């Protein structure tokens, strides 16, 4: 009697737990589907104007048979607009596809040095100082994802900075957990915009896709980390990646 009642109760609790998990998964799938539908609608809107421009310029070539110099200008514009469309589509695909990180022990300082060198010439030409302050620690991370995170954050920082400003990438560990920080002294972000910067398609940058920080957030989350952004107009922006795990031999 008592044993049967206990087993029946246990079975009922297990069924309820399974139903709760299934309901949660269904809600997550529905939420994800709604998000992808919203992104797809945004992508359609973002690509409509460039495609119309491309068609118009091609039609001009067909109708007016412009001289070679004018044809080259039109061809250049067509290539530029096509690149913009391709960039938006690639960003959409990066954001929408499931992320499966390949976590391996990596020397994060090496990835930072390699990535920051990609921006060295541009920073120098703009009079912006690039600084690195790193612990030479080994962390568990996906090397490609870390590089993509840094490329996005450094690109944003460079865009926000003028001559005399500085950008610093630092890594610090405390109690076995690391924080990777990208800090700039650029124009900063208003508090109103700061609440929206990680939302898909939000951008104040001409020609930007508005998916950069959204993708960064996904890449950080996929590796089990978290992101914190602080900014003030005229003071600069600090983006912290929290929760990096040190690999001990």
**Final residue before a domain boundary, out of 96, 127, 152:** 96
Query: According to the model, what pLDDT value does residue 148 have?
Result: 84
Does one domain contain both 200 and 92?
A: no
Does one domain contain both 72 and 141?
A: no
Does one domain contain both 112 and 23?
A: no
> 201: phi > 0 → left, psi -120 to 50 → alpha, else beta; which?
left
**Final residue before a domain boundary, out of 96, 128, 157:** 96
Query: According to the model, what pLDDT value does residue 244 have?
Result: 93
When the pLDDT of each residue in the chain is averaged and rounded to a whole number, the result is 79
CATH code for position 64 = 1.10.287.130
More confident residue, 236 or 195: 236
Does the pLDDT of residue 211 top 80, yes or no?
no
Model confidence band, residue 77 (pLDDT cutoffs 50, 70, 90): confident
Q: What is the pLDDT of residues 92-150, one digit of tens each?
A: 666 666 668 889 999 998 999 988 888 888 899 999 999 998 877 889 999 988 988 89
Report the DSSP beta bridge partners of residue 140.
105
Model confidence band, residue 170 (pLDDT cutoffs 50, 70, 90): very high
Distance of CA 129 to CAs 135, 187, 220, Å?
A: 20, 15, 26
| pTM confidence score | 0.64
For the chain, give the percent of residues with pLDDT over 70: 68
CATH code for position 135 = 3.30.565.10
Q: How far apart are CA 190 and CA 210, in angstroms?
A: 16
Does one domain contain both 71 and 141?
A: no
CA–CA–CA angle 38, 220, 210 (5° rounding): 40
Closest CA to 54 of 35, 34, 68, 74: 74
């Amino acid at each position: 009697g008592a044993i049967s009642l206990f087993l029946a109760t246990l079975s009922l609790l297990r069924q309820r737990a399974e139903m709760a998990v299934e309901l949660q998964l269904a809600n997550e799938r529905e939420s994800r589907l709604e998000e992808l539908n919203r992104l797809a609608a945004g992508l359609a809107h973002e690509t409509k104007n460039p495609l119309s421009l491309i068609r118009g310029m091609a039609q001009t070539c067909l109708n007016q048979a412009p001289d070679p110099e004018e044809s080259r200008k039109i061809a250049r514009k067509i290539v530029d607009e096509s690149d913009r469309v391709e960039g938006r589509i690639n960003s959409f695909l990066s954001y929408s596809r499931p992320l499966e990180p390949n976590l391996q022990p990596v020397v994060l300082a090496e990835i930072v040095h390699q990535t920051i060198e990609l921006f060295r010439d541009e920073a120098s030409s703009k009079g912006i100082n690039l600084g690195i302050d790193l612990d030479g620690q080994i962390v568990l991370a996906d090397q490609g994802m870390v590089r993509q995170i840094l490329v996005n954050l450094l690109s944003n920082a460079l865009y926000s900075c003028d001559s005399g400003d500085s950008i610093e990438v630092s890594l610090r560990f405390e109690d076995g957990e690391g924080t990777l920080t990208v800090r700039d002294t650029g124009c900063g972000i208003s508090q109103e915009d700061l609440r929206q910067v990680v939302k898909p398609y939000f951008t104040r940058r001409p020609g930007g896709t508005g998916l950069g920080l959204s993708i960064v957030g996904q890449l950080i989350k996929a590796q089990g980390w978290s992101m914190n952004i602080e900014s003030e107009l005229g003071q600069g922006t600090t983006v912290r990646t929290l929760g990096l795990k040190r690999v001990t031999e």
